[in-house]
Amino acid sequence: MIKTGVFDYLRTIATFTSSQVHHDNPNIRSTLFLSVLILVLSILFSIKWIIKKKNPNQQLPLGSRALTILGNLPFLDPELHTYFTDLSQIFGPIFKIQLGNKLGIIISLPSLAKEVLKDHDTTFANRDVPVAGRAITYGVFGMRE
């Protein structure tokens, strides 16, 4: 009994709206096209995000859980050295931290830091210059005469 009442109600709404809408109106067509486009793009991006989350292509050290957009920024202690010491006791001498959308790797032992910064410096020095660095220096690095 309830199902037939719901279906009758939906049928009356559908006939009312279809009699009120003119399908030749270009505004309705563009709105419909835009809404379908947004729906399809959101589905594609969500599928891409799910696949990326399930199959990470890089081995990263452990770290604390981060929020989606903000990362670990809301949880940072004003005294960063004590915060990093606490995290190193939980996750070990090498751990990751998410600062907004940037990933940071924290190394808390001096011997490991020496190995990374001195012995393997060419591996870590081959990074792109940040956009902010290029913007501040107007694309010029070094001294100009």
pLDDT band at 94 (very low <50, low <70, confident <90, very high): very high
Share of the chain above pLDDT 70, in %: 70
Contact 64, 37 (CB under 8 A): no
pLDDT above 70 for 143? no
pLDDT above 60 for 41? yes
**Averaged pLDDT, 101-125:** 83
What confidence score (pLDDT) does residue 113 get? 87
Instruction: Kindly report the pTM of this predicted structure.
Output: 0.49
Structure tokens at 50: 């799910």
What confidence score (pLDDT) does residue 90 get? 92
